[in-house]
Amino acid sequence: MMSLTEISFVEVVRKQHAFKLKSYGGVFTSLVMIQFIALLFSFGASGGMGSSSGSISYEISYYSGWIIISFTYLWAFITAILITTKAYRNDDFTFVSNRLTSNLSNIFFLLTASLIGGVTALLASNVIKLLVVLFYDLDYVIGASLTIQDFFIGLLSTTLYIFMFTAAGYLVGTLVQLHKLFVIIIPAVFIGGLFVDVGQFQLISRISEFYVAEASFLLFVIKSVITVVLLFLTSIVLSNRLEVKQ
Amino acid sequence: MSIVFLIIIVAILVIVTKGKGIKVPNFGINGNSLLIGYFAVLVILSLLFYFIPYELTPLAEEDRLRELEDIDAQIYHAANNGTLDKVDALYVKDRWSEPLSGNSIKIILPEEGPASALIYAERKSEKDGKIDITHYETRSVFQDIDFESHQLQVKDNSVEVINPKPIHIKVAGLNKEFTITQFTGEDGYYSNIPFTGIVGTEVFYLRIPKDVEVEGDIWFVKE
């Protein structure tokens, strides 16, 4: 009996996840659009410098996929907020489900979306470089070749960053569903965090440094997985209160 | 950028609290089909990026740049001290003599000054009616790219220094994404690939006959 219950629970989550992948097409339409816009922005250099010495002068423009990756973070954050809204929650009523299966299927959907976002963001970064090399009038191209190992490190870390943004967005969305006052509180806390000093650094910089300054890939994976688990766990606990409230 | 992001997020938060919330619009497009098409295009273009024949200019090695800087410094000091004859023959690009017809020569420098060349002179003890020129040069290295040298022409009792043609180089630096460099030991967040190099030293050393007068701006290391 116990095993039957477990199977049906897993089955419900699996079916909801499959349903969401099929029916939340707008999420992927918006991903394609936002990455396309970011691609256009990235086609201008992300930085540059110039200098001259004697009869030699040079200008160097730098290109990378950081705009695409940043836009994908934004997309992930907003998508996660949106799927906590009633408009999406009502879809779950088409299944025999409870709050937990709904949350878990959402989390798996966000994980899948993060992976898709990570892969496409990294591939789109290559596309910028291709367009630069093909269409710009250049004398020289400098840079290091991307190895397969680099690509997979980038793929996993970008996906984890995006997944962290979805986890943060999911928590923000859940809080806002819990009480509208959070629409004011959350941005206020964020803006405050930009200025409040912790030690010698601002709170937000301190938090982001905890991840971006981590040079060990293994430690980064551990940090981000723990963060994601904590954020989603908090959201699940809070969303149970939401159900009681409604 | 982060302010714009913040405004967008606040707007979204306000919208989602209204009524039943919103769904991400799909603009009448099948999102999954669009994604598959987009993914296919990205894969094809990414593969193309690895196969198109463009050449990454190698970075100049730090050790090599330091070595070249040391050589430049040695030549500069030797020129100032009048000991260029002791400089390694390796750095002598050319050595030649030109006959002089009168008792004076005029030194003509480019209007904007020599781009990166130094001109020194020494009085010979002889009155042999010819000017001896030695052209010393160390390499200009910009990411392993070589550049042309200054020229010195002796004509109608004038010595003219001609700058190399100005070169403007357009370079694209293809940075790895910060989600990669964070772990690969390369420079971290938002860092750029260094574009390094040095412009080599050029010295024209003129040995002028004792009885020839010199008109123009020139530094005599040995009168």
Read off the pLDDT of residues B106-154 as tens digits, 9 standing for 90 and up: 988 887 777 678 888 888 888 888 999 999 888 777 666 667 788 888 8
Contacts of B143 (CB under 8 A, 6+ apart): A140, A142, B57, B58, B59, B60, B171, B195, B196, B197
- Smallest Cβ–Cβ distance between B176 and the set A82, A87, A144 belongs to A144
Q: Quote the tokens at residue A213.
A: 């300054």
How many Å apart are CA A126 and CA A47, to the nearest integer? Answer: 17
**Residue B222 DSSP SS3:** strand
Look at A76 and B176; give whichever has higher pLDDT: A76
Gyration radius of chain B over CA positions: 31
Contact: B183, A215; criterion CB under 8 Å? yes
Quick check: B175 pLDDT over 90? Answer: no
Contacts of B90 (CB under 8 A, 6+ apart): none
CB pairs under 8 A between A and B: 280
Q: Which residue of A has its CA nearest to B197?
A: A53
What is the torsion angle, in degrees rounded to the nearest 10, for the CA atoms of residue B185, residue B187, residue B189 and residue B195?
-150
Q: Which stretch, A91-100, A202-211, B190-199, has highest mean pLDDT? A: A202-211
Report DSSP state, residue A51.
Answer: E
What ipTM, to 2 d.p.?
0.84
The percent of residues above 90 in pLDDT, for chain B, comes to 10
Best mutation target, A142, A156, A205, to test chain B (most B CBs within 10 A): A142
Adjacent-strand bridge partners of A24 = none
pLDDT on residue A72: 96
Read off the pLDDT of residues A17-64 as tens digits, 9 standing for 90 and up: 888 888 888 889 989 999 999 999 888 777 777 777 777 788 888 888
- Smallest Cβ–Cβ distance between A142 and the set B45, B186, B195 belongs to B195
Contacts of B217 (CB under 8 A, 6+ apart): B107, B109
Question: How many other C-beta atoms can be found within 10 angstroms of the C-beta atom of residue A21?
Answer: 18
Q: What are phi and psi of B217, to 5 degrees?
A: -90, 105
Contacts of B107 (CB under 8 A, 6+ apart): B119, B158, B159, B161, B214, B215, B216, B217, B218
Read off the pLDDT of residues B59-116 as tens digits, 9 standing for 90 and up: 666 777 788 888 888 888 888 887 887 777 778 888 999 888 888 889 888 877 776 7
In this complex, is the C-beta atom of A62 within 8 Å of any C-beta atom belonging to chain B? yes
Contacts of A209 (CB under 8 A, 6+ apart): A201
Contact: B185, A26; criterion CB under 8 Å? no
* Region A228-238 average pLDDT: 95
pLDDT on residue A217: 94
* Region A149-177 average pLDDT: 93
Contact: A187, B9; criterion CB under 8 Å? yes
Angle, CA B213 vertex, CA B210 and CA B217 arms, to 5°: 115
- Smallest Cβ–Cβ distance between A66 and the set B8, B27, B190 belongs to B190
Chain B: give the shortest CA distance to residue A146, in Å. Answer: 7
Q: Smallest Cα–Cα separation from A187: which of B86, B60, B12? A: B12
How many Å apart are CA B132 and CA B136, to the nearest integer? Answer: 13
pLDDT on residue B189: 46
- Categorise residue B140: left if φ over 0, alpha if ψ from -120 to 50, beta otherwise: beta
Confirm if A41 and A67 have CB atoms less than 8 A apart.
yes
How many Å apart are CA A95 and CA A83, to the nearest integer? Answer: 16
Quick check: B180 pLDDT over 50? Answer: yes
How many Å apart are CA B194 and CA B215, to the nearest integer? Answer: 44
pLDDT on residue A218: 95
The H or E element that residue A95 is part of is none
Contacts of B157 (CB under 8 A, 6+ apart): B100, B101, B102, B104, B105, B106
How many Å apart are CA A62 and CA B200, to the nearest integer? Answer: 26
For the ranges A52-56, A63-67, B184-188, the lowest mean pLDDT is seen at B184-188
The pLDDT-based confidence of B54 (bands split at 50, 70, 90) is: low
Tokens 């190099």 belong to residue = B197
Whole-model pTM? Answer: 0.77
**Residue B158 DSSP SS3:** strand
